[in-house]
Amino acid sequence: MEGSYLLERGYSPIETLRRRASGAQIVLARCQRSNREVVLKFKRTGPLGNEVDQNDITGSIQYEANILANLDHVNIIQFIDLFKVGKNPVMVMEHAMGGTLATLIRTNRKLRNDLATKLTNQLAKAIIFLHNHNIAHCDIKSENILLDGEKNVKLCDFGFAEDVRFPSDGEIVWKGSVAFSSPEGITRVSRDLMAGDVWSFGVVVFNMVTGYLPFGSQGVADILKRMGEPLRWPRPLKTVNGRCREFVEMVLERDVAKRQTMEQLKDHPWLL
């Protein structure tokens, strides 16, 4: 049933890559016009093509597509198309065949310094591009960083992204994954979404070079407690490059007013 609807739109499904807790499905398909493998992302409550009112469920795909369609950067996943089957928006994106950064870290336990430096540089460039275009990602984490066949960064999943020129009204809403979120984001004391991206970036870098998360993932109270303590680096310390440790501790500045911007961080000696 689903395949026939997608075939009518010119896409031949190959396999389901992921089903997310949010309800999103990620399907690998082949574009009949270009013979290129692409990725389809959609959410649904019933069979694809049903005329059902999904309100916010479909709205997030439409919203993400609107953000991504205006971003053109080599280290950001490429938007290709958006169409509807019934009331179900389906977003078409490039296929990053190297999988997620999270999988690469788990497979290797941690990344070599040279590879971590390369990926950090590319991720920094993607975030700087976003911030220069007034976009905060709001959900940077290892699972949302894809890699192409040459292990180049492709930042994805813009469902929580915001244009900082038009801040949300009312109560501050915590977005993203707690293990990668900033202390001010978790406690909802700041709307500085770009500073939150910087913090999440630092968590990703720590994850790459150590193989684990700096503040754990055992719940909000424990994570906030550990954020107030010195970073727990692996022993012996020489297992992590000294300049890298300095860089990460600079990024993970708890005081949001003192935290550096991505533009300021890009010239750190570890990245040169």
CA 208, 114, 96: angle at the middle one, nearest 5? Answer: 65
Rounded CA-CA distance 205/216 in Å is 14
Reduced to 3 states (helix: H, G, I; strand: E, B; else coil), residue 85 is strand
CB atoms within 10 A of CB 260: 14
Q: Are 185 and 175 in contact (CB under 8 A)?
A: yes
Q: Are 156 and 102 in contact (CB under 8 A)?
A: no
180: amino acid identity, one letter: F
Query: Helix crossing, 101-108 with 193-210: angle to 10°?
Result: 30
Q: In Å, what is the CA distance from 230 to each residue of 10, 91, 185, 203, 211?
A: 54, 42, 19, 14, 18
Which residues are catalytically annotated? 139
Rounded CA-CA distance 179/26 in Å is 23
Task: Name which of 70, 235, 94, 230 is nearest 156 in CA terms.
Answer: 94
Rounded CA-CA distance 150/112 in Å is 15
